[in-house]
Amino acid sequence: MSAQDLTESRLDPNLAVVDEICAAGEPWAKLVKKGHILRIVDLEGNQAVDTLFFNAARSVERYSATDTIRRQNRLYLTTGSKLYSNLSNVMLTIVADTCGRHDTLGGACAAESNTVRYALDTYPMHSCRDSFLHALAHDPVCEQLGLTKRDLPSNINFFMNVPVTEAGGLEFVDGVSAPGKYVEMRAEMDVVVLISNCPQLNNPCNGYNPTPIRLLVWNPTAA
Amino acid sequence: MEQQHTHIWEERIPGGCHWSGIVRRGTTLRLTDVEGGANAAVLFYNQEEKLERYNMADTLKSQHTFRLTKGHAFHSDMGRIFCCMTADTIGWHDTVCGMSDAGLIQQQYGVARYQEHRNQMFRSGLDGMLIELGKWGLGVRDVVSNVNFFSKVTATATGKLVFHIGNSKAGDYVDLSFEMDTLMVLSAAPHPLDPADTYRPGPVSLAASTTLPMAAEACARIAENMRGLHNTRRLYACGRGAA
């Protein structure tokens, strides 16, 4: 991941149509129209942002980790990566990235998997799946699509570093991200983005200290 | 001291075809690559509550592995274990590349319809999976990242994927010892990264037998699997004879 792989954006935050903060451990959902640009900012560094995308017109079409991986022959995401749906369509394209690597394999933490990964008594700890399910129960954008647990496939973890070795090892390691790093993507169809700002305290994916993120959306034809 | 398996049933799935069925806990299923070069795309669901399903991420991160082999367990999204891989003559099975779909099959191999080719028609991994899922009231929403038994895909330091031709030879097999009553769905179409230019997916045979005592010990050296097995046994615990 050399510096020349990083691509900065020229978009001006003052012209964004959405500019919101998602607090540590909370979900965030939004409709992002085709052609609009979504930026996720890791405000304080080393914050995993668990993210799913759904076709806003037909939610049975959703982000697919396996299609995204195998169609590009790549495990990690960065500028130029396309985010494919389960129906073979490009949902979004990453157009800027100052972090350099984002994860497709780590999935979301859940109360149940926490008991397996860390200790049986971690069940009450807050988790990404709880945030996703909270959003599905409360957020009007999710409600309109009629989403349930059944609609939660493998997600992207922006800013998370899960290196895979040629010998087949896989570890969660300290992030490659840092305060102010961001990733930006252009929607290629109307999408609903569903985020869990990860509350995991048991591994280094959030530097053991979950922090807020900033979310901006631009309409390039208006900006 | 070789212990005797009790044979229950067997089934042969021609290359490109698909299968689904319930595999009970206490059963060991042997998947054999009959002719070499087969791929078996597989998904697991809890037979009692099919919202509980195989989870690629939980399986990989709980065991700190990218490849699946003997000693690994297949984790559900509810902190439980469908089955443990208790034997493996191959050493590497993929779980991140998904399935071939109709577009890929057509682009890579051309078109072979039923009308002209009868049961030698070209079928895709995803279409076979969806047909089998449909038999159980499941569909597109239930398709998650699957296992590709017999196929090896490695990643370079930059994350570029490499498909290994000839990973599995004629007669190679894996044993899956089931800890849950599981709906298993299998599609034996080509792996999506298989570069072959002729459509010739190999047949897969399934052979079910009773699980030998202590078989799950193969997965128990991983502490996460011990906790997953603990959660699994609680699902089946009852007043008498609780695990």
Residues of B in contact with A111 (CB under 8 A): 79
**pLDDT above 70 coverage of chain A, percent:** 97
Q: Mark yes or no for CB contact B98/A64 under 8 Å.
A: yes
Those residues whose C-beta lies under 8 Å from the C-beta of residue A31, and which sit 6 or more positions away, are: A56, A141, A190, A191, A192
Select from B192, B144, B199, B203 the least CA-distant residue to B168. B203
Q: In chain A, what residues touch B61 (CB-CB under 8 Å)?
A: 105-107, 117, 162, 170, 172
Contact B175, B30 (CB under 8 A): yes
Instruction: With CB atoms and an 8 Å threshold, state whether A113 touches B77.
Output: yes
Q: Chain B residues with CB inside 8 Å of A66's CB? A: 96-99, 145-146
Distance CA B243, CA B232 (A): 10
Using alpha carbons, list the distances in angstroms from residue A134 to A111, A123, A143, B116, B243. Answer: 13, 17, 11, 52, 33
pLDDT in tens, B153-209: 999 999 999 999 999 999 999 999 999 999 999 999 999 999 999 999 999 999 999
Q: What pLDDT sits at residue B243? A: 47
- Test B58 with A75 for CB contact under 8 angstroms: no
Q: What is the pLDDT of residue B241?
A: 53
What are the domain boundaries of chain B?
A: 10-236
**Rounded distance between C-alpha atoms, residue A53 and residue A185, angstroms:** 12
pLDDT at residue number A193: 98
CA angle at A125 for the pair A123 and A129, rounded to the nearest 5°? 85
| Distance in angstroms (rounded) separating the CA atoms of residues A12 and A219 | 11
**DSSP code of residue B143:** -
Low-confidence ranges of chain A (pLDDT < 50): 1-4
Q: Pick from A63, A64, A113 the residue to mutate for testing the B interface (most B CBs within 10 Å).
A: A113
Question: Looking at residue B240, what is its pLDDT?
Answer: 62
Dihedral sign (CA B87, B89, B91, B96) = negative
Q: CA B241, CA B243: separation in Å to the nearest integer?
A: 6
